[in-house]
Amino acid sequence: MFLRAGAVSLALLLASRLLGVVRESAQAAAFGRSGLADIAVLLLTLPDLLVSIAATGALAYVLLPAWAGQPAATVAALQRRVALRGLLAAAAAGVLLALANGPVLDVLAGGLPPEWRPAGAQAIAWAAAALPFALLAALWSTRLQHERDFLGMYGANLVVNLLLIAGLLVAARMESTTAVLVLGAALLLAMAARLAWMRLRMPAVAPSPEPVHAVMPPAPLWTWAVLAAALPLLLPFTARSAASQAGEGALAVFNYAWKLVELPLLLAIQLVASLSFPAVARALADSAAREKAAAPIRLAFGFAWALACAAVSGLAWAAPALARLLFGWGRMPEDALVHVAQWGLAGSWGLLPQAVSAVALTVLAARKQLRAPVLAYAAAFAVLVVAAVSGVHDGSHLMLLLNAGFLGVALACVLALGRDARDWLPTGAFGWSALAMFATAAPAYALHPAALPPVAGLAAGALAAGAVLAFALWRAPELRQGLRR
C-alpha cells in the first residue's frame, strides 16, 4: 500500500523538503545568529505557518471526508465557497497583523535588539501581505490531496523554495533594510508562482446543467477541526517564540534545532498519515466497509511508529553532524551549532508520541471525534505558555516540555479511539521497533558522538536508523505485507 502509493509522493516530498533544508542552510550562512537572521525566519515562515495553524489541517480534516464520494461539480462548488470565506478572513487577518506589528514583534521575537525593530516591522508587513496567497494555496493543496495529485501538491513546494533560495542569495549581499525588501519581494513572487503551478494542476470540471448546491460543513465541525489542526503547530511555534526572548539570534537557533525534528516528522510520519487519510475517510464513511478500515489503520500506525523509532535512533548518532552539515556555513558560530544539535536531540523523543497522534487524529477526524485531542493539546499549550511567562527560555527545557505535551496528546488520542484501539494499534510492531530503537540509540548516549568526524556521525546515524527499520520489518509481518500492496 505505502510503497506503491507513496513512492512518487516520497520522492517529491523529499525533493521539496531537501530544497527547504537548502533554503535554511542558505539563510544560516547568510545571516548566522543575528537579528537579521531572526527577521528572515519571521518573514519567510510566518505566512505559511499562520495559515497552517489556522486552516491547513482543518481544511483536510473537514473537506476530505466531505468530498469523499461526491461528484466533481459538488466538490468544486464547496471549494469555491470555502475559498471566498477564507480569502476574506486572511485579508482581514493580514491588515490586523500589519497594524499590530509592534506587539507582534514583542511576542514572536522578543529578543530582537531596538536597532532591528524597524526592519522587523517591515518583515511583519510583508508577511501580512502574503497571507491570502498562503490561504488559497492551502485550500488548493487540500483539493489536490483529494485528487491524489501528489505532483501538484509537492511540486508547489519546489517552486516556492527555489525562488526563496534565489532571494536569500541576493539578500545576503545587501544591507539590512534592502535585504528585508528583497526577501519580501521574493516571498510574494514565490507565493504567486506556487498558485500558478497549482492552478495548472487543478482538475477541470465540466459545467453542470443544473445549479449545484454545496452544503457547507457545520460551524462546530470547523471549530473542532481548526483547534485540532492549530494546537499541534502552536506548540513548537510558542516554544520558538519563548526561546526568542533569550536574546538576538535565539529565535533562529531554535528554529534550526526544530528543523532536525521536523524533517523526519514531515518526511516520514506525517506522510504516512497523509497517504492513509483519504482511504481511511472513505472506509469509515461507508458503514459496509468499516471493518476493512482496520487493515490500513494498523498499517499506518505501524509504519509511522517504526519511522519515528528510526529517526530517534538516527539523530542520537547524527545530530551533531547534521547540525554542522546543514547549518555550519558562513556566519554561523560554533556555539550556536552545539545548541542546534543538543536541542534537536532533546526534541527528537517527541517524534514517538507524535507518530501515534498523527495517525490517530486522521481516524478521529474521519469519525468527527476531535474533542479529546483538542482538549489535550489545549492543556499542553497552556502549560507551555505558563512556562514561557515564568521565564523558561532555554531551548533544551522547552523541547522537553514539548515532548511531555505530545505524550499527553497521544494518550488522549488512544483513549478517544475507545475499544477500536485494541484492533487498530499493532502492539507487536510497536514493541519490536521500540526494542531496536533502544538497542541502537543507547550506545550513542554513552559514547558522545559529537566527538566523531561528521562523515562518521552521519554514517552511524544512517546505520542505526536502517537497523531499526530492518528489524521492525523482519519481526512484524504485517509491515512487510503492507509494502507489497
Percent of the chain with pLDDT over 90: 44
- pLDDT band for position 9 (cuts 50, 70, 90): low
**pLDDT exceeds cutoff 90 at 20:** no
Residue 3 confidence (pLDDT): 45
How far from each other are the two terminal CA atoms of the chain, in whole angstroms?
4
HEC states along 189-239? HHHHHHHHHHHHHCCCCCCCCCCCCCCCCCHHHHHHHHHHHHHHHHHHHHH
- pLDDT surpassing 90 at residue 220: no
Q: Evaluate whether 98 touches 157 at the Cβ level (below 8 Å).
A: no
Closest alpha carbon to 254 in 450, 64, 399: 399
Distance CA 143, CA 473 (A): 33
**Residues 384 and 235: beta-carbon distance below 8 Å:** yes
The pTM of this model reads 0.80
Q: What confidence tens digit (pLDDT) does each residue in 245-296 have? A: 988 889 989 999 998 998 888 777 776 776 666 666 666 666 555 566 677 7
Average confidence (pLDDT) over 230-240: 88
